[in-house]
Amino acid sequence: MKHKMAIVGFGGMAGWHYNEIQTIEGLEIAGIWDIREERRVYAAEEKGLHVYSGLEDLLADSETDLVLIATPNDVHKPVAIAAMEAGKNVVSEKPVTLCSQDLREMIETSDRTGRFLTVHQNRRWDEDFLTVKKILEEGKLGEVFRVESRVHGSRGIPGDWRQEKEHGGGMILDWGVHLLDQLLQLFSDVPVRSVYGVETHVTNQLVDDGFYAEIAFENGVTALVEVGTSNFVSLPRWYVLGADGTAVVEDWELHGKIVRATGVNEKDVTPVITAAGLTKTMAPRRDDSIFTEELPKVTSDVREFYINVMAVLEGREKSRIQLPEVMRVMKLMEAIHQSAETGEIVRETI
């Protein structure tokens, strides 16, 4: 069975979907609609795609069963609702929309029309994330008590709609949505009990150009999620602490290591001598008390996202991206924003 997908918004990310779809059997692009003429001309002339005369024309195409929304963030909700009302299934780019109330309306429309709604949370297929997931699943570090997840750039936020609040700009909605989704995937059964968030405004006053959030889970695990866009030196992508070891994933190329205790008791620790005194507590481990391991090898194929979408439409599989998970991320983003605005810890079960 061949699925035909129409694309609304043919900018940078739609180009990525276009390339990926060329490699996926059973899925083809029926055409596109973009409000900008230059993008319509590009789609037609460079990609040979059919260009609809408008959103209504696109939604009226009885040949398509799927609509991809790859517009700025504020446009996702109205287009998704219109598409579901027109009988189409919907893949929305992330963030699905700007707030939980909007998402509730989208889910209600999906329930009422019986149309499938999903979100392109493609970073669930990132290998750095899957490496950390595997380390946790294998229990390599003993009882994990801390997870830190960061992405750092140094060029501020892109100079497009991402700088504008009304379009859903800012880094919480742009990168935060990925990192928070990944974190909640690691602790899918554990409620969040408190959130403290701080937003940065180094290069942009209108929206957050970065943020960090301290998130406490009910099982005692704490997590730090940080997005920075004025960081000329990047900290590791992941830093995970357990009672018996530490894992670090330095970057997207998966440099990193796991250091674990051997169980050898260190009787004679050589203290570190600093200008102001000496310390045994902070001295390096003796070599025989630890061993260093390579990170486990994980490979992934992000095309599974669309393969799953098609399987859902054919009634063969459950969606890999469940809407209650998407709602949970949305609530976490709202809590971070609320905490950043008030300077208070948000104590809410999420």
Closest CA relative to residue 214, chosen from 191, 200, 238, 198: 198
Burial (CB count within 10 angstroms: exposed 0-12, middle 13-18, buried 19+), residue 348? middle
Q: How many residues bind ligand NAD (CB under 6 A)?
A: 24
| Contact region with ligand NAD (CB under 6 A), list: 28-36, 146-154, 290-298, 301-309 | 28-36
Q: Give the shortest CB-174-to-ligand NAD separation in angstroms.
A: 6
Closest CA relative to residue 24, chosen from 308, 300, 322, 299: 308
| Contact region with ligand NAD (CB under 6 A), list: 68-76, 198-206, 285-293, 327-335 | 68-76
Q: Give the shortest CB-137-to-ligand NAD separation in angstroms.
A: 24
**Binding flag, residue 21, ligand NAD (CB under 6 A):** no
Q: Report the site for ligand NAD in 166-195 (rule: CB under 6 A).
A: 174
Provide the token pair at 247. Answer: 């894992």
**Binding flag, residue 75, ligand NAD (CB under 6 A):** yes
Closest CA relative to residue 227, chosen from 192, 182, 261: 182
CB < 8 Å & 24+ apart, contacts of 21-27:
21/306, 23/303, 24/303, 24/306, 24/307, 26/1, 26/2, 26/310, 27/2, 27/3, 27/66, 27/306, 27/310
Q: Which is nearer to ligand NAD, 12 or 284 (CB)?
A: 12
Q: Give the shortest CB-279-to-ligand NAD separation in angstroms.
A: 44
Contact pick of 3, 43, 59, 71 for ligand NAD (by CB under 6 A): 71
| Contact region with ligand NAD (CB under 6 A), list: 71-79, 233-241, 292-300, 341-349 | 71-79
DSSP characters for 238-272? Answer: EEEEETTEEEEE-STT--EEEEEE------SPPPE
Q: Which is nearer to ligand NAD, 175 or 238 (CB)?
A: 175
Q: Which residues bind ligand NAD (CB under 6 A)?
A: 8-14, 33-36, 39, 70-73, 75, 93-94, 120, 122, 160-161, 174
